[in-house]
Amino acid sequence: MFWLTERFFSLQGEGRYAGVPSYFLRTGGCNLHCPGFGTSYKAGGERRYGCDTWFSVDRDFAGEWEAVEEAQPLLEELDAAFGKIGYRPDVVLTGGEPLIYAADPVFYALIEGLVERGIRITFETNGTVEIDAERFPAYGACTYALSVKLSNSGEASSRRINPAALKRIAGSGGEYFLKFTLDRPIVESGQAKEEIDAIRQILPDAEIFCMPVGESRETIWRNDEAIFAFCIRNNFRYSDRLHIRVFDTTRGV
């Protein structure tokens, strides 16, 4: 069994496939919290801080999550949704952290069914969870947007960087790229370049995308020019966050 917090049809807003029509399945639960990203929300009668999808990370919201106990009904729902759309879009597994369910039989049956349908699957993952592509070969047909967290996430490096997991994902046979969430202070201090260079030593062949932190247009505007210039200086790819630019703080887009 695994948990879903959202499902919706939109455009991919970030990374290599930005702008591509995609059907999103957002899973509940994460092994990181990332308070440094600074999104403010209320839970348990207190003010908390985390990533922009706190409602899929903080288990105080688990009562709102949907339990998926069988893959086939969900696959049939997706087939019906794609029939109404008129084509099969990409499917993006995001979270939270979707790969915490990598060994779950129901979750893997979903991935296997999507691969059998010829659908391109992208995992939006923090890159800390090891996958076993020999035992679960469908993972070798997927794309991995490795959103490895830097020190501005507020997480300790021992929690946010797992070289073995990154190498296992890169060796799965699937497509992969690195995607970093940056803010002005980490860029202007020089820390971003230093930390990214250290991660590049783990995955030297990975293409690098950098995007501004932010759960809202206003937050992105405070950071985008610095990240834009950072990418120019270092020959990295700039990734905007199209869904936030267009819809601001709206969920399910």
Q: Are 111 and 15 in contact (CB under 8 A)?
A: no
CATH number at residue 147: 3.20.20.70
The three-state (H, E, C) secondary structure of 123-167, written as one string: EEECCCCCCCCCCCHHHHHCEEEECCCCHHHCCCHHHHCCHHHHH
Give the total number of structural domains in the chain. 1
pLDDT at 216: 86
Q: Domain for residue 92, yes or no?
A: yes
pLDDT at 250: 66
Tell me if residue 62 falls in helix, strand or coil: helix
Residues 249, 46: Cα–Cα separation, whole Å: 21
Q: Domain for residue 252, yes or no?
A: no
pLDDT at 253: 59
Q: Domain for residue 10, yes or no?
A: yes
Q: Is the pTM of this model over 0.85?
A: yes
Mean pLDDT by 10 residues, the chain (253 residues): 97 96 98 92 92 93 97 98 98 98 98 98 98 97 98 97 98 97 96 98 98 88 95 97 80 67
Q: Domain for residue 8, yes or no?
A: yes
Residue type, 214: G
Q: Domain for residue 16, yes or no?
A: yes
Q: Domain for residue 253, yes or no?
A: no
Range of the domain at 107: 2-247
Q: Domain for residue 205, yes or no?
A: yes
Q: At what angle do helices 191-200 and 217-234 cross, to 10 degrees?
A: 60
